[in-house]
Amino acid sequence: MTRVVPDIAPRPVRRRGTQAAAGRASGRGWTVLRPVLLAAGAVAFLFPFYYMLIGSLQAEPDTSPAGALPSTNLTLGNYRDINERVDLLQSLVNSGIFTGGVILGTVVFGVLAGYALARLRFRGRGTLFALVLLVQVVPFQLLLIPLYVLIVRSYGLADSYLGMILPFAINTTAVFVFRQFFLQLPDDLFAAARTDGAGEVRILWSIALPLVRPALLTAVLLTFIGPWNEFLWPFLITKQADMQPLAVSLANYMTNVAARTANPYGAILAGACVLAAPAVALFVAFQKHFTSTNIGSGVKG
Amino acid sequence: MTGPLSRDASRRGPQRWVAAVLGRHPVGAVLVAPYAAFLALVFAYPFGFAVWISFHDYFFTAPGVPVDRPFVGLANYTAVLSDPAVRQAFGNIIVFLLINVPLTTVLALLLATALNGAIRGRTFLRVAYYVPYVTASVAVVGVWLFLFNSGGLVNKLLGPLAPDPSWLVSEHLAMPTVAIYVAWKQLGFFILLYLAALQNVPNELYESAAVDGANRWQRFRSVTVPAVRPATTLVVIVATITGANMFTEPYLLTGGGGPNGASASPVLLMYQRGIEQGQPDVAAAIGVLLVIGVVTVSLINRRILERP
């Protein structure tokens, strides 16, 4: 596609002139194409979110192109409707406890594991690291049936927060991020602290941890997406409506109830906005902690 | 000098012995213990259990009830492989991957290249691109249903060109629409991976290519694409794994893998057979076959992509 633009540019003679000019001419094509490509991407990614918001505010679903424009007869009625069918507050609390539990487990035990894997030499370290890599390969879906048998049938943890949290309690990607950040700290720092007689736990707590605080936030953000958006697992183990996270109660509304209501899309979109808002707000607010460098270092582990 | 040295040596005696058995920092084993226990309990044991279930006649019972669960060899696997619905689901996933993976890789690299370097509004664009990735699929599925239903905005805009039956209820279009949805949803994450890779491409490579008279497109082909090849391998493999394991999209977007199972995925069938119909052994066999398939495809992809 980049070639097309210089070809219609009315200066073919100059372009053939020198090699450098050829590079510059096609560079002009890119300077036109690049913003077009980026803008088209931004519209494609953002429009559905805008449409979600508009749709959630329409009393009657208007699917005509004009309906996509903000009009005056917008209402919060759909939010009232969805709240009558799905207890939004209780669902949000459930989502929050589920997500909070996973973040807590990941931050506490993941930091300890990441630090030990990066900085300490102990028996079994190699074996554990191989196991961590293996976990990345085994998809959660294979474990679905055995985990369902164990957690729901054997341990009786259906409809409980613990049952929801357990399979996600320590996020392995976050352990990788922690390990990577601890690895990047200078060796001298640790050598000096050890010479001074500091124990390993003290070194971790008062020297290493304050230095990796930005990584901590990145890892928390990364971990947040998992349980907040997770559908399959809580869907399997919660049957009681008052225990379901919002993703599950909204999905159940979509599949069971929506078809029988007057404005099904309005209520669905209102629920979708409530589910999407915390995640979107968090990532917009902390966007500088969620950049390619932070993520890249974690994934390359 | 000799005083402290000998004292040091005498103290090091038993310490060396401990170090030989437990490593230089035995406390490390204590720090990783919770994570190791978690991996054993939630991954290693269930992994073995899944394989075990798939070779036995397994059914749900109340806890503590002793029942006989005889070894049945490959019976669950033959049942799965002769089930037309399962075969259809695996076929669907192949169609899905053939559309989703190339689309994801090409668009992610193009957009990451465009986003790389100084440009006005870079932060805004970067955030815009990963917003779908950080949002719950359940939420965005809602708006896609609204956009792509038969009377939705997309069909209104297409007018007479709108497909009939519509996108999500057409046997031919349901799976491609799901593939495009997943590509759109996940693209932001892959753009981030490519952006990280692009930052490690040395600028001199572009400069010397420009001196040699290579235009933008030629530089992209001969410098960028080879330089980010490790990232491409990662993108292809991660996109394959996430795509092959999808559940939410066929469950909600096409109303349970419809129409007539045309968009059913293997994990959706695991749920239907295992949990809804109470055949965990059959579901476990589907899971094992799926993992074998995904690992095979990933290894082949890696071979092809890492070939010099």
Burial letters A58-96, b for 16+ CB under 10 A, else e: beebbbeeebbeeeeeeeebbbebbbebbbbebbbebbe
* Chain A closest-CA separation from residue B172 CA (Å): 23
Asked if residues B228 and B197 have their Cβ atoms less than 8 Å apart, the reply is yes
How many whole angstroms separate alpha carbon B195 and alpha carbon B122? 12
- With pLDDT > 90 as the criterion, what percentage of chain A qualifies? 41
Residue B16 lies in a domain: no
**Distance of alpha carbon B78 from alpha carbon B86, whole angstroms:** 11
Instruction: Supply the range of the domain harboring residue B155.
Output: 75-306
Residue B10 lies in a domain: no
Report the C-alpha gap between A133 and A24 in whole angstroms: 46
CB A246 within 8 A of CB A271: yes
3-state secondary structure of B212: coil
Structure tokens at A81: 């409707």
- CA nearest to B76, candidates B269, B279, B293: B279
pLDDT at B114: 92
Report the distance separating Cα A72 and Cα A43, nearest Å. Answer: 23
Q: What is the mean pLDDT of chain A?
A: 83
Residue A224 has pLDDT above 80, yes or no: yes
Task: Look up the pTM and report it.
Answer: 0.87
pLDDT higher than 60, residue A3: no
Is it the case that residue A11 has pLDDT exceeding 60? Answer: no
pLDDT reported for residue A60 = 82
Q: How many domains does chain B have?
A: 1
Per-residue pLDDT, A259: 67
Higher pLDDT, A98 or A196: A98
Is the separation of the CB atoms in B254 and B307 below 8 Å?
no
Of residues A45, A123, A282, nearest to B128 (C-beta): A45
pLDDT of A20-72, one tens digit each? 444 454 557 788 888 889 999 999 999 999 999 999 998 888 888 877 887 76
Contact in structure between A263 and A81 (CB atoms under 8 Å): yes
Within a domain: B111: yes
The CATH number of residue B141's host domain is 1.10.3720.10
Burial class (CB in 10 A: 0-12, 13-18, 19+), A4: exposed
Structural domains in chain A, sorted by start = 4-75 (no CATH), 78-300 (1.10.3720.10)
Burial of B10 (0-12, 13-18, 19+ CB in 10 A): exposed
Contact B212 A273 (CB under 8 A): no
φ and ψ at residue B56, rounded to 5 degrees? -125, 160
Residues 245-264 of A with CB under 8 A from B: 247, 250-251, 254-255
Q: Confirm or reject contact between B278 and chain A (CB < 8 A).
A: no
Nearest to A66 by CA among B153, B307, B271, B250: B153
pLDDT digits (tens, 9 = 90+) for A147-178: 999 999 888 899 999 999 999 999 888 888 88
Residue ranges, chain B, pLDDT below 50: 1-10
- CA dihedral (A147, B133, A56, B121) in degrees, to 10, reads 160
On whether the CB atoms of residues B167 and B174 are closer than 8 A, the answer is: yes
Q: Name the residue with higher pLDDT: A276 or A211.
A: A276
The 10 Å CB-count burial string (b at 16+, else e) for A114-130 is bbbbbbbebbebeebee
pLDDT at A293: 60
Domain-embedded: residue B34: no
- Whether pLDDT at A121 is above 70: yes
Å between A205 CA and nearest CA of chain B? 12
Residue A1 pLDDT exceeds 60: no
Look over chain B and give the mean of its residue pLDDT values, rounded to a whole number: 88
Could you tell me which chain B residue has the CA closest to the CA of A268?
B142
